[in-house]
Copies of this chain bind each other. A is one copy, B any other.
Amino acid sequence: MNEKLAAEVAGKIAKRMERANKPVPVGVSNRHIHLRQDHWDALFGKGTQPRKLKDLKQLGQYAAYDTVSLVGPKGRLENVRVVGPHRSGTQIEISMTDSMNLGIKPPIRDSGKLQGSTGVKLIGPKGEVDLKEGVIVAKRHIHIAPSEAKDFGVSEGEHVRVRAGVGGERELVFERVLIRVSDQFRLEFHVDTDEANAAAIKSGDEVYLV
């Protein structure tokens, strides 16, 4: 066999074996909303601020006490938590189960890619917003800091495979998990509640790149 090829294959296998030993903690995202300033103002009142409930693992992000209701053609979802700080575009992340309850069909998208996504009516304590687009089902992804990305041998925008629920009744392998690298990120595998339930995993559990 060609020696160069053999060395290359051996290198790839070594990298995969190395990866497979490093656990990645799970973060299950329940339905939530990121608001644009003017939408916040319309829903909660101009001059008010979100009240922080707790910091999230990703630096600078926090869950607020404040919540909104979503109203779709088929149903309503209460207590959808605001995640701060505000963003340049209002983005609502819900599960496909939520979508079916609301009667809407949002696309599966990476965070921030909202063009042509689905609309919904938002109701806050001080007003309503009839949102034309902004609802997505989030594509599963791994947040990772640059130094850790180097250790794992992964880079921004790459797709990896993730084994979850190892040894459990619902073990599975997620294909095409997006890698997102930033110095604001801390190592975390983000899935929604449907995906977490399908693998019978919860926040803090460990999954593995394969």
Q: A-side interface residues toward B, CB under 8 Å?
A: 95-97, 100, 108, 139-140, 169-176, 191, 193-195, 197-200
Contact = CB atoms under 8 A, between A and B. Distances in A.
A195 B191 CA distance: 13
Identical chains in the assembly = 2
Q: What is the interface of chain A mostly: helix, strand, loop, or mixed?
A: mixed
Contacts of A194: 97, 193-194, 197-198
Contacts of A97: 95, 97, 193-194, 197
Residue of A171, A175, A191 with most partner-chain B CB within 10 A: A175
A95 B95 CA distance: 14
Given A96-B197, A193-B97, A174 B176 contact: no
Given A95-B197, A97-B97, A195-B198, 11 more contacts: A96-B197, A97-B194, A171-B176, A172-B172, A172-B175, A173-B173, A193-B194, A194-B194, A194-B198, A195-B197, A198-B199
Sort A-B residue pairs by CB-CB distance and give the 10 closest, nearest first.
Answer: A198-B198, A96-B197, A194-B197, A171-B175, A173-B173, A108-B169, A195-B198, A194-B194, A194-B198, A97-B97
A23 B100 CA distance: 27
Contacts of A140: 170
Nearest to A163: B175
Nearest to A199: B198
A74 to B, nearest CB: 13
